[in-house]
């Protein structure tokens, strides 16, 4: 069926819940209301005893998810906005990510924390952030950011079945931006595997989330042969796909919305430096958010990477 | 429009066994002589464990360690009221609870010696690992109990923490979740009156910690934490309440007679006079006095216990010190269920 990102995620949750009775959902307004973005629409009505509206407490949501998982359930928790995940960072960094290690494998925490991410919808403060680096930096967590409905369904099913804690960020800007064919049958996309969206020989663009679509727009009509990699999983990172591509093209641009300093691009450049430096024909360019607080709607567009900035970086790298 | 009182609350204090070893027969819980002796033995065992652990630390054979001196009744009395299947989330001072549960002593000591493998066996005794960050694990207990309820298990969940932990937000979130979702959970606050150097009077303006339960629609009780019978009785009643979906907060009023940990020096912030007052309230001495009047205690019995537990400890220490060092690769082996490519590479580097 044709589905947008919201519908694809809903489909994944519905299918996993119907298949596995240990999967439960918890979060703020996810029950009767179906979540503020309606991602869990209809699931409370279908699985009344496994969908829980919680008190308004993010640390509580993640902390109890850890306990639910320790006692054999597979909680999929929703944090309403990425900007509100901060109170839960302690539970994620101090516990969810460490319990397997601390107990030398006696205990594990198979939880999924879903949360919208990113800007571009002209929202309030704390509704447009890109905090993925905090989680990528934390040993013991996995981080997924899909760019399209088809991937979202397959990746979320993998995340729910994964034996370790997975942070599943959903780019809210593309929640309803477009539809594509999403099979109703069950399928998975493995975590840790990037997707080559478009093949090319002159330049590699590495990106993820809503910026895959923007990058496709930016390269439209350009005379170069451009390879575009959608990372899909930020941790573990698909180093092989990155290095194979950059070794071949010798040129690279990395696009993300998160602030520049210690953003994922910094790590990718370091990896290329370690594994493919001598293949490079030009310095790698980063197109990222600025090192500032995401502005309110009046100035938000100035913060965001955009097709013009992507094009400029492509030209710079190609004409080095 | 009237202005009137719409809510009132009362907090009970439970004490059964006084400092002279006299028990209130009307309040006395049903316990056989054998139960009483077992509780006494477990408290003794905890005390001997503690002394040995402190000595090991001073000799450089153990890492930083948090003593449980004076809190034996709070731990043994409460944990004795539980079934084997009931699950416990301790903080970092609950050696009494681990010992009661049958946690292998060499393994528990190995952890304090700096070896993660020591925590592996906690699961076998239906306990969670030691949690170091204060006040963060009560949410795990709430989640665990919530899962028990969803899965229709009959067991209850218990979590131990100190007075300092009640200032953490997660404590309040855990209490709230437990009450809202009717989770079979018992919160046991060992109010030992100090969070490192900060006395409980600076921790909270509440007259009791127990009354914090009221705000969450939950039953809370203050208990003489050095009275093993009162701890047993209040926990036993909390178990019954928990099984009906009603969580309880028990404030065990006790005293931390040692430093916070072996890295602390309590002389800097409290005086001898205060300490001496609490020596007199010793939970083990108190039970001993009771047992003497009931003819359950003799000098020979005491000597036999000392010998038995000292031997058991010495053997466990020997065993602990003969455990082979962990493999260095273990630092990477338990980050995820499976090593990712990056970690595989780092494992090669580590070789």
Q: Residue B110 maps to which CATH number?
A: 3.40.50.970
Residues 212-271 of B with CB under 8 A from A: none
Structure tokens at B116: 């993660």
Yes or no, beta carbons of B136 and A90 under 8 Å apart: yes
**Cβ proximity of B210 and A94 under 8 Å:** no
**What span, in angstroms and rounded, lies between the C-alpha atoms of A23 and A73?**
6
Q: B123-167: per-residue pLDDT in tens? A: 999 999 999 999 999 999 999 999 999 999 999 999 999 999 999
Alpha helices in chain B (DSSP H): 33-58, 72-79, 95-101, 105-112, 138-150, 169-180, 200-203, 228-243, 272-279, 283-293, 299-321, 330-333, 341-350
Q: How confident is residue A147, by pLDDT bands cut at 50, 70 and 90?
A: very high
Yes or no, beta carbons of B143 and A67 under 8 Å apart: yes
**Cβ proximity of B298 and B292 under 8 Å:** no
Q: B30-56: per-residue pLDDT in tens? A: 999 999 999 999 999 999 999 999 999
What pLDDT shows up at residue A63? 98
Task: Name residue, tokens 């780092």.
Answer: B346
Q: Which of B104, B161, B177 to mutate against chain A (most A CBs within 10 Å)?
A: B177
Main-chain phi, psi angles of A75, to 5 degrees: -75, 135
Yes or no, beta carbons of B151 and A103 under 8 Å apart: no
**What span, in angstroms and rounded, lies between the C-alpha atoms of B234 and A33?**
41
Whether B346 contacts chain A with CB within 8 A: no
**What span, in angstroms and rounded, lies between the C-alpha atoms of A233 and A191?**
6
Q: A40-87: per-residue pLDDT in tens? A: 999 999 999 999 999 999 999 999 999 999 999 999 999 999 999 999
Whether B177 contacts chain A with CB within 8 A: yes
In a domain, B331, yes or no: no
Q: Which of B103, B42, B116, B41 is nearest to B316 (CA)?
A: B103
Q: How confident is residue A238, by pLDDT bands cut at 50, 70 and 90?
A: very high
Q: Which residues of A are catalytic?
A: 127
Whether B202 contacts chain A with CB within 8 A: no
Buried b (16+ CB within 10 A) or exposed e, B246-284: bbbbbbbbbbbbbbbebebebeeeeeeeeeeebeebbbb
**Cβ proximity of B147 and B89 under 8 Å:** no
**Cβ proximity of A237 and A259 under 8 Å:** no
Structure tokens at B132: 């170091």
ipTM for the whole complex: 0.97
What pLDDT shows up at residue B40? 98
How much is the average pLDDT of A120-131? 96
Structure tokens at B239: 């178990």
What pLDDT shows up at residue B179? 98
**Cβ proximity of A219 and A228 under 8 Å:** yes
A60 contact residues in B (CB cutoff 8 A): 139, 142, 170, 173-174, 176-177
Whether B122 contacts chain A with CB within 8 A: yes
**Nearest chain B CA: its distance from A277 CA (Å):** 18
Does domain A2-181 bear CATH number 3.40.50.970? yes
**Cβ proximity of A160 and A74 under 8 Å:** yes
In a domain, B43, yes or no: yes
Q: At residue B338, does pLDDT exceed 90?
A: yes
Asked if B256 is an active-site residue, the reply is yes
Q: A249-260: per-residue pLDDT in tens? A: 999 999 999 999
**What span, in angstroms and rounded, lies between the C-alpha atoms of B34 and A226?**
80
Q: How confident is residue B1, by pLDDT bands cut at 50, 70 and 90?
A: confident
Yes or no, beta carbons of A73 and B337 under 8 Å apart: no
Q: Which of B87, B114, B336 to mutate against chain A (most A CBs within 10 Å)?
A: B336
| Cβ neighbours around A50 below 10 Å, total | 18
Yes or no, beta carbons of A237 and B342 under 8 Å apart: yes
Q: What domain range includes position B285?
A: 12-326
**What span, in angstroms and rounded, lies between the C-alpha atoms of B263 and B267?**
12
In a domain, B19, yes or no: yes
For chain A, which residues make up each domain, given as ranges?
2-181, 195-318
Whether A65 contacts chain B with CB within 8 A: yes
Number of domains in chain B: 1
Structure tokens at B41: 């033995």
How much is the average pLDDT of A20-42? 98
The mean pLDDT of chain A is 98
Q: At residue B168, does pLDDT exceed 90?
A: yes
In a domain, B221, yes or no: yes
**What span, in angstroms and rounded, lies between the C-alpha atoms of A82 and B305?**
57
Structure tokens at B242: 């928990």
Yes or no, beta carbons of A67 and B141 under 8 Å apart: yes
**What span, in angstroms and rounded, lies between the C-alpha atoms of B269 and B276?**
15
Asked if B241 is an active-site residue, the reply is no
Distance of CA A124 to the CA centre of its chain: 21
Q: At residue B263, does pLDDT exceed 90?
A: yes
Which one of B40, B256, B286, B290 is the catalytic residue?
B256
The mean pLDDT of chain B is 97
Ranges of beta strands (E only) in A103-182 are: 112-117, 142-144, 166-171, 180-181
**What span, in angstroms and rounded, lies between the C-alpha atoms of A123 and A129?**
10
Yes or no, beta carbons of B177 and A106 under 8 Å apart: no
**Cβ proximity of B78 and B236 under 8 Å:** no
A104 contact residues in B (CB cutoff 8 A): 116-117, 119-120, 330, 334
Q: Assess whether the region A2-181 and the region A195-318 belong to the same CATH fold.
A: yes
In a domain, B192, yes or no: yes
Yes or no, beta carbons of A70 and B142 under 8 Å apart: no
B127 sits in which H/E element = none
Distance of CA B211 to the CA centre of its chain: 20
Burial bucket for residue B125 (CB in 10 Å: 0-12, 13-18, 19+): middle
Whether A56 contacts chain B with CB within 8 A: no
Q: B67-119: per-residue pLDDT in tens? A: 999 999 999 999 999 999 999 999 999 999 999 999 999 999 999 999 999 99
Which one of B47, B101, B137, B260 is the catalytic residue?
B260
Question: What CATH number labels A195-318?
Answer: 3.40.50.920
Q: Which of A53, A56, A71 to mutate against chain B (most B CBs within 10 Å)?
A: A71
> Judging by DSSP bridges, how do beta strands B248-253 and B87-89 pair with one another?
unpaired
């Amino acid at each position: 069926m044709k589905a947008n990102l919201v519908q694809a995620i809903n489909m994944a949750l519905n299918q996993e819940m119907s298949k596995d009775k240990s999967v439960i959902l918890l979060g703020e307004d996810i029950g009767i209301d179906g979540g503020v973005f309606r991602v869990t629409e209809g699931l409370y009505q279908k699985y009344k005893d496994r969908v829980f509206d919680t008190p308004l407490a993010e640390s509580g949501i993640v902390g109890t998810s850890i306990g639910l998982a320790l006692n054999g359930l597979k909680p999929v928790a929703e944090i309403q906005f990425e900007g509100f995940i901060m109170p839960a960072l302690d539970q994620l960094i101090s516990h969810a990510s460490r319990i397997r290690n601390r107990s030398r494998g006696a205990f594990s925490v198979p939880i999924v924390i879903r949360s919208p991410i990113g800007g571009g919808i002209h929202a309030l403060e704390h509704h447009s952030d890109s905090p993925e680096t905090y989680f990528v930096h934390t040993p013991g967590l996995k981080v997924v950011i899909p760019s399209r409905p088809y991937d979202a369904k397959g990746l979320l099913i993998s995340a729910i079945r994964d034996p370790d804690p997975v942070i599943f960020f959903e780019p809210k800007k593309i929640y309803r931006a477009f539809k594509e064919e999403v099979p109703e049958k069950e399928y998975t996309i493995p975590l840790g595997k990037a997707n080559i969206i478009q093949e090319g020989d002159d330049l590699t663009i590495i990106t993820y989330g809503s910026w895959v679509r923007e990058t496709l727009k930016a390269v439209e009509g350009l005379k170069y042969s451009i390879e575009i990699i959608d990372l899909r999983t930020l941790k573990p990172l698909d180093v092989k796909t990155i290095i194979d591509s950059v070794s071949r093209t010798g040129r690279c641009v990395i696009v993300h919305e998160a602030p520049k300093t210690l953003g994922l691009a910094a790590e990718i450049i370091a990896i290329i430096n370690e594994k493919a430096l001598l293949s490079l024909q030009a310095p790698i360019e980063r197109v990222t958010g600025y090192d500032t607080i995401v502005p309110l709607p009046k100035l938000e567009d100035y913060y965001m990477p955009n097709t013009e900035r992507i094009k400029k970086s492509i030209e710079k790298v190609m004409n080095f | 429009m009237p202005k009137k009182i719409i809510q009132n609350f009362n907090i009970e204090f439970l004490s059964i066994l006084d400092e002279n070893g006299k028990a209130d027969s009307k309040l006395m819980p049903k316990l056989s002589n054998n139960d009483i002796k077992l509780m006494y033995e477990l408290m003794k065992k905890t005390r001997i464990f503690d002394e040995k652990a402190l000595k090991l630390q001073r000799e450089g054979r153990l890492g930083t360690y948090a003593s449980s001196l004076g809190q034996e009744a709070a731990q043994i009395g409460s944990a004795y009221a539980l079934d084997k299947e009931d699950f416990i989330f301790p903080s970092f001072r609950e050696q009494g609870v681990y010992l009661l549960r049958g946690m292998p002593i060499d393994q528990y000591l190995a952890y304090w010696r700096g070896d993660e493998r020591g925590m592996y066996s906690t699961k076998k005794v239906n306990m969670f690992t030691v949690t170091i960050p204060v006040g963060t694990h009560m949410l795990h207990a709430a989640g665990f109990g919530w899962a028990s309820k969803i899965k229709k298990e009959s067991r209850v969940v218990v979590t131990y923490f100190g007075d300092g932990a009640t200032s953490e937000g997660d404590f309040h979130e855990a209490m709230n979740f437990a009450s809202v979702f009717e989770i079979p959970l018992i919160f046991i606050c060992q109010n030992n009156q100090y969070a490192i150097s900060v006395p409980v009077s600076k921790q909270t303006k509440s007259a009791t910690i127990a009354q914090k339960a009221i705000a969450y629609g939950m039953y809370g009780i203050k208990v003489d934490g050095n009275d093993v019978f009162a701890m047993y009785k209040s926990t036993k009643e909390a178990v019954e309440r928990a099984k009906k979906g009603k969580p309880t907060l028990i404030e065990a009023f006790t005293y931390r007679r040692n430093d916070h940990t072996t890295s602390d020096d309590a002389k800097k912030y409290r005086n001898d006079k205060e300490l001496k007052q609490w020596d007199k309230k010793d939970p083990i001495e108190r039970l001993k006095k009771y047992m003497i009047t009931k003819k359950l205690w003799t000098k020979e019995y005491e000597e036999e216990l000392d010998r038995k537990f000292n031997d058991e400890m010495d053997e466990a220490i020997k065993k602990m010190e003969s455990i082979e060092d962990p493999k260095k690769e273990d630092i990477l082996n338990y980050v995820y269920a499976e090593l990712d490519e990056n970690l595989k590479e780092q494992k090669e580097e580590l070789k």
